Amino acid sequence: MTSIPLSVGLDYHQDSVQVCVLNEQGSVILNRSLSNDARGIVRAVAPRGQVRSVAIEACCGAAALADELIGRSNWPVQLAHPGYVARLKQSPDKTDFSDARLLADLGRVGYLPKVWLAPEELRRLRRLVRHRQQLVKVRKNVKLRIRALLRENRLRARGCKAWTKPWLAWVASEDGLVKDDRWLMNQHLAELSHLAGLLKAVEKRLKERAASDPVIQKLLTFDSVGLVTAVTIRAEVGQFDRFNTGKQLARFCGVSPRNASSGQRQADAGLIKAGNPGLRMVLIELGQRLICRKEGRWSTLGHHLLRGGKPRNVAVAAVANRWVRWLYHEMQPTMLET
């Protein structure tokens, strides 16, 4: 094997990987499609020089290949953010050949927009958490269909709140629905019941995973943090010490205000459009719970903002932002222990 410094770009596909190898000057040494197999990729690249950087776009399966390459050859593999990589392209055309070369070139010059490569155990936890989020979205759609069907028939329950047991019993027995709508309603109620069972099962699984995770157990000790909030933070944030500051963590979570200043105009433009939507949702819900507390640091902050004329949604987002920045410092000792 020669000592020529090499930069490698991998354009990942389920059955194949386009492999581009550049030397230190940016000249193409290799750019061809190989089987999606870590051993074959290592055999094709290793004899050509000393691998200095390896870049692969983050997508389904890419992290597993990255882990295998690191374990097999100890290459410095880094995941790239596909959205930012696409913006750096100098051509509207898209080919595997050009995509792999761009990844290799970005790694060569040190401009690769990196994505954190989470350990396999955390990636499995993410899949569980996101499966629950998908079930919740499906349940929400079913509930919307039930409410729409009731409105279409101008029906309204008296003396009970929606989605309580008495309300659901009323929906199941209401004879004001015509024959076809009653059949539809029974289908929706059956689906709702089935989803409740699936959610219960996945939450039981999450509880089992949380029992052996010290980071989740630490999160559960904080006020108003429940199982879903704790496992979502753990799955999406992963390791708190990979961030330099609490402000950086808050931006990753999508609970930081976006600056929209220009010239003499100084203004905010709502929350930044970044971060995982499921993570931001549980943090905003947490902010709501913290404000609703009768006492405590976060309740005091929220009510101070409300008394100052801030809209409730702004106050809730501000509490979530401050809480995440506080959490960063609280979790540092735990990360050192793990």
What is the pLDDT, as a whole number, of residue 336?
58
- Confidence band for 94, pLDDT divided at 50, 70 and 90: confident
- Beta-sheet strand order (sheet of 77-80): 28-35, 16-22, 5-12, 50-57, 77-80, 114-115
Domain match, 236 and 309 both: yes
Query: For residue range 146-192, what is the model confidence (pLDDT) as tens digits?
Result: 999 999 999 998 888 999 999 999 999 988 999 999 999 999 999 99
Domain match, 228 and 293 both: yes
Domain match, 260 and 173 both: no
Tokens of 96: 């595997």
**Structural domain of residue 310, as residue ranges?**
217-337
Q: Quick count: other Cβ atoms within 10 Å of Cβ 219?
A: 24
Tokens of 255: 């609970």
Domain match, 99 and 199 both: no
Q: What angle do CA 218, 253, 58 make, to 5 degrees?
A: 105
How many domains, in total, are found in the chain? 3
Domain match, 241 and 170 both: no
- % residues pLDDT > 90 (the chain): 83
Helix 62-73 to helix 38-45 angle (10° resolution) is 50
Whether 1 shows a pLDDT value over 60: the answer reads no
- Confidence band for 266, pLDDT divided at 50, 70 and 90: low
Whether 259 contacts 269, CB under 8 Å: yes
Question: Concatenated DSSP letters for 141-185?
Answer: HHHHHHHHHHHHTT---SSS-TTSHHHHHHHHH---S-HHHHHHH
Domain match, 172 and 62 both: no
Whether 235 contacts 125, CB under 8 Å: yes
Where is pLDDT greater, at 90 or 35?
Answer: 35
Domain match, 173 and 259 both: no
Domain match, 132 and 156 both: yes
pTM recorded for the entire structure: 0.88
Average pLDDT over residues 123-133: 96
